Amino acid sequence: MRRLLLVHTGGTLGMSGRRPHALKPGAFFRTVRQRVPELTKLAQLEFELFSNVDSCEMQPELWTRLATLLHERLDDFDGAVITHGTDTLSDTASALSFMLKNLDKPVVLTGAQRPLGEVRSDARMNLIDAVTAALHGPKEVTVCFDSHLFRGNRVRKVSIAEYDAFDSPNHPVLGVLGVEARFQPGLARKGRRTLWPNVVPDVFLLRIFPGLDPALVLPMLPRLKGLVVEAYGAGNFPVSKALGRSLEPVFSEAQRLKIPVVVVSQAHRNGVDLSLYESGSLARSYGAISGGDLTMSAAVVKLMHGLAHVAPRGLREYLERSVAGERS
């Protein structure tokens, strides 16, 4: 029987408690054996308790530890399943996709909207599907949720209360687990699996909104190593000086301080094109980098990762190309 590593990090799937009372971390592995005994018919599972926290507590230091654990242990298994809270699942999946270069085994993240111990939980099917994907799916970092398999660095959380909690608006699904499980080939490997575990977390995400005062942003720039701007549409932001809210000084000061700026879109579909409008062209003249159709999570994590592993002169090229299937 094929062997899988099941790593628990925490999240709703493994929590205990009864609504309306607050949920809290529970005895996950005992609950899995009781509630989903058929997992042992699919694979020989080895359990690894990595952490038992709400996913809002998953920080970059934990991404590094998790990637290192997987890299060190994957040789002994046919794949890995990671149970994770939904709130930052896309961030962890993005981080692992950059840290585990040229994966030769499937690494599948999953979670749930209701704890495994509840009667109407989606956790049971998500676990079964994730194990199936780790046995037969593409050899890359993926997210398995609501009978769909997504590329890990392409997903967004789109729902708090429905079971179809994730979507991949700019990339087709890699698998559908219906009556039959069907999977796409996934990424092509270009060498041996290597570990690139470090990140520089001194990055800020600036979401553009009407009324944003650039005077609030400028004082923080000297503390940053990188900036992601979540702009309107194709990469738009205010540039008119009439009301004193032009964001041109932000881009100008970032260039002076040699802070890389990546522009992504608030729109979920399609991506940034800095050549279409005046503000985008202005940003580009100050050295801003188009994030294309990167998700917010992938843009922030990739910038953190690039700052740690790529020389400044090569950072633009690293951010503008697809490293792990994260952009079109």
What pTM was computed for the model? 0.94
Task: Identify the residue whose tokens are 């879109």.
Answer: 265
H helices present in the chain, as ranges: 28-35, 39-42, 60-73, 89-99, 123-136, 214-217, 248-256, 278-285, 296-309, 312-320
Residues contacting residue 88 through CB under 8 Å, at least 6 positions apart: 55, 56, 58
Give the CATH fold of the 3-195 domain: Rossmann fold (3.40.50)
Tens of pLDDT along 61-107? 999 999 999 999 999 999 999 999 999 999 999 999 999 999 999 99
Mean pLDDT value of segment 213-231: 97
CATH 3.40.50.1170, the chain: domain bounds: 3-195
Distance CA 54, CA 17 (A): 14
**Angstrom distance (rounded) from CA 142 to CA 132:** 12
pLDDT in tens, 42-52: 999 999 999 98
Strand-pair category, 175-177 with 44-53: unpaired
Positions marked catalytic: 12, 86-87, 157, 277
Question: Sign of torsion, CA 307 311 317 323?
Answer: negative
Measured in whole angstroms, how far is the alpha carbon of residue 49 from the centre of its chain?
Answer: 21
Q: Quick one: tokens of 84? A: 């994770």
Residue 18 has pLDDT above 80, yes or no: no
Q: How confident is the model at residue 15 (pLDDT cuts 50, 70, 90)?
A: low
pLDDT given for residue 27 in this prediction: 67
Contacts of 229 (CB under 8 A, 6+ apart): 206, 208, 237, 261, 262, 263, 264, 283, 288
Residue that wins the pLDDT comparison between 26 and 160: 160
Query: What token pair was written down for 314?
Result: 């090569």
CATH 3.40.50.40 domain extents, the chain: 203-320
Phi, psi of 66 (to 5 degrees): -65, -45
The class that CATH gives domain 203-320 is alpha beta
Share of residues in the chain with pLDDT > 90 (%) = 85
Q: Is the pLDDT at 314 greater than 80, yes or no?
A: yes
Q: How many CB atoms are located within 10 Å of the residue 190 CB?
A: 7
129 has a pLDDT exceeding 90: yes
